[in-house]
Amino acid sequence: MSDRAEAETFTGSFTQQEPLPEAAIAAALRVMQHGRLHRYNTAEGEIAETALLEEEFAAFTGAKYCLAVASGGYALGCALRALGIGPGDPVLTNAFTLAPVPGAIAALGATPVFVETTEALTIDMDDLAAKAPGAKALLLSHMRGHICDMDRLMAVCDAAGLPVVEDCAHTMGAAWKGVPSGRHGVMGCYSTQTYKHMNSGEGGLIVSDDADLMARAILLSGSYMLYPRHRAAPPPEAFEAVRYLTPNVSGRMDNLRAAILRPQLADLPRQCARWNALYRVMEAGLAGTPGLRLIERPAGEDYVASSFQFLLPDWPAGRVRALLARAAARGVELKWFGAAEPQGFTSRHESWRYAPAQQLPATDRILAGLIDLRLPLTFSEADVAFIARILREEVAAVFQSGEELAEAPAAD
């Protein structure tokens, strides 16, 4: 990585993850050597890697049941299907989220209804309460690892009879007042895509204490008649009422990915502590920067910070573009949620045209000044301190000079 004393630019990669641990590589080799990748293809007396992962993740979260699936996006759609969400049903979700969340709603023919965002980057409780009547569910996105007041949220939703599915793609290992993320709603959904807290390329996990919902989810995932082989699952009688009525929407996790994930799950608490150490270095390095506002973290939140966000309140778009260009010239890759067009895997509600257009002035104001960057574990604390110094210098320079950069003309 860069030498802070001499280099003017950062030379590390914001998208390079750590190698898989040796134990994960050895486990993957064992599966590849015997060839039984399909979760139901097991030898006499063998327990599938996928079934073992489900047991271990259920224990990690304190849930009764767990299902491993092909992706985080599949997990969201599967959970909504298990709830009976279908065409035309209004489903609430955060206005500040990523495309797979409203995409999971729209893929069922349901209607995404967006709830405003606060300056803490969490769902607006007053807007939630106003929109809850008539909605069929809340798909709550803990976007970029920011957890709202879950006690208040559940009180609002319980009063409206609104079931909550938690999108925990960015909060695996996090908690609200000691309760693991994903354990407040009826189902919690997680991702093991490469840029999440465990890496299997793609993958997802669903947890729940509700036997009926989990029986439907297991059948939906493509268990055929093999659901008794699921160990972190409801008893066989929970499947009887729904096994002939539930379509197969195959999305099973395979044994290869499960084998890769099990050693990572065992090491997850240590990894979470490493991410949080990087976050604290960045937070300290940017504190007090003119023109920049840090995101307040509530006392009840135990976060896992694999990324970092800050606000540039009331900055004109041209000034934000000037900062992005200056940071990029010094090797710092920033994402901006206020850009007119989707960029760098980020997008905003106007881009999700499968959902009806909605007026979200509070969210639009926040996204206009919202900056985001990854904190991969390939960075050292010294790297992060150097990145923070670059950002502090460039934010202060643009803020004081008023420099602006015009938007590039659209390509023909």
Domain positions in the chain are: 22-266, 269-401
| Rounded distance between C-alpha atoms, residue 49 and residue 254, angstroms | 8
**123-171: pLDDT as tens digits:** 999 999 999 999 999 999 999 999 999 999 999 999 999 999 999 999 9
Sheet holding 301-302, edge to edge: 179-180, 175-176, 301-302
**pTM (two decimals):** 0.95
Beta strands per DSSP E along 342-385:
370-374
Q: How far apart are CA 155 and CA 227, in angstroms?
A: 34
Residue with tokens 């009887």: 240
The three-state secondary structure class of 330 is coil
Mean residue pLDDT across the chain: 95
Q: Whose structure tokens read 């009926």?
A: 212
Q: Are strands 90-94 and 65-69 parallel, antiparallel or unpaired?
A: unpaired
Q: Which of 268, 203, 212, 265 is nearest to 241 (CA)?
A: 212
Model pLDDT for residues 15-71, shown as the tens digit of each residue? 999 999 999 999 999 999 999 999 999 999 999 999 999 999 999 999 999 999 999
Report the DSSP beta bridge partners of residue 123. 117
How far is it, in rounded angstroms, from Cα 368 to Cα 34?
A: 52
Token output for 92: 């609430």
CATH homologous superfamily, domain 269-401: Aspartate Aminotransferase, domain 1 (3.90.1150.10)
Q: Which pLDDT band, with edges at 50, 70 and 90, does 224 fall under?
A: confident
- What does the pLDDT average to over 301-305? 97
Give SS3 for 112: strand
Tell me whether the CATH fold assigned to 22-266 matches the one assigned to 269-401: no
Would you call 351 exposed, middle or buried from its count of C-beta atoms within 10 A (0-12, 13-18, 19+)? middle
Please compute, for residue 68, the number of CA atoms within 13 A of its CA located in the half-sphere on the CB side: 32
Q: How far apart are CA 56 and CA 36, in angstroms?
A: 20
Q: Give the side-chain half-sphere CA count within 13 A for 33.
A: 6
Rounded to whole angstroms, how far apart are CA atoms 45 and 144? 42
Q: With the CA atoms of 373, 377, 378 and 383 taken in that order, what torsion angle do they form, in degrees rounded to the nearest 10? A: 60
Please give the radius of gyration of the chain, using alpha carbons only, rounded to the nearest integer: 22
Give yes or no for residue 247 having a pLDDT over 70: yes
pLDDT tens, residue by residue, 325-378: 999 999 999 999 998 888 877 888 999 999 999 999 999 999 999 999 999 999
> Cα–Cα distance between 255 and 39 in angstroms, integer?
5
pLDDT at 91: 98
Cα angle value 307/312/318 (rounded, 5°): 110
Report the distance separating Cα 179 and Cα 177, nearest Å. Answer: 6
Question: Which residue bears the tokens 């949080």?
Answer: 276
Instruction: Give pLDDT, residue 407.
Output: 83
**Which residues, in sequence order, are bridge partners of residue 293?**
311
Residues ≥6 apart with Cβ < 8 Å to 68 = 39, 50, 53, 54, 57, 203, 204, 205, 252, 253, 257, 258
The CATH code belonging to domain 22-266 is: 3.40.640.10
**What is the reported pLDDT for 3?**
42
For tokens 């840090």, the residue is 294
pLDDT for residue 373: 97
